[in-house]
Structure 1
Amino acid sequence: MRQLNPKKLLLSKWTAAKPVNKEKHFLVRSAVKPASEDLPIELFELEAVHSGRTQIIHWRDLQDETRWLQGWK
């Protein structure tokens, strides 16, 4: 499992290990602000480069190397 820092994920690039609907490359577009400012940021918005579709993902899901590869490959 790779080590990630959620504070450094913004605008990082990711490749889906198993692309769906030709969506292979993704960019972390923004952080989803928690309900309280005291809580840490845990959710991020990923945008598919091919289609522009966005999805919300927990930053720890990016540590799963069977689903996500860091960078564009």
Structure 2
Amino acid sequence: MLAIILAVLLAFGLQLVVWKCVVLGISYGVHLLSGADVPYGLIALIVFGVWFVILLIYGLFAYGAHRLERGE
């Protein structure tokens, strides 16, 4: 069970890293092509917020499935 929990946590961590790299890479490309100032901190905060909401939804889904399995 511990291995499953660790694997899920590592998968979510990797997902966050990939999302941030892709979004920040795109915003850096926009900065290079257009010369506009891009607020990287704000972009990273938005990506983290979206990722955290998805994480909460998955957690609530898993909790509901667990309660349903137990018959509560």
Q: TM-score, normalised by structure 1?
A: 0.25
Which entry has the higher C-alpha Rg, 1 or 2?
A: 2
Q: TM-score, normalised by structure 2?
A: 0.25
The structure where strand makes up a greater share of residues is 1
Larger relative contact order (CA 8 Å, sep ≥ 6) = 1
The structure where helix makes up a greater share of residues is 2
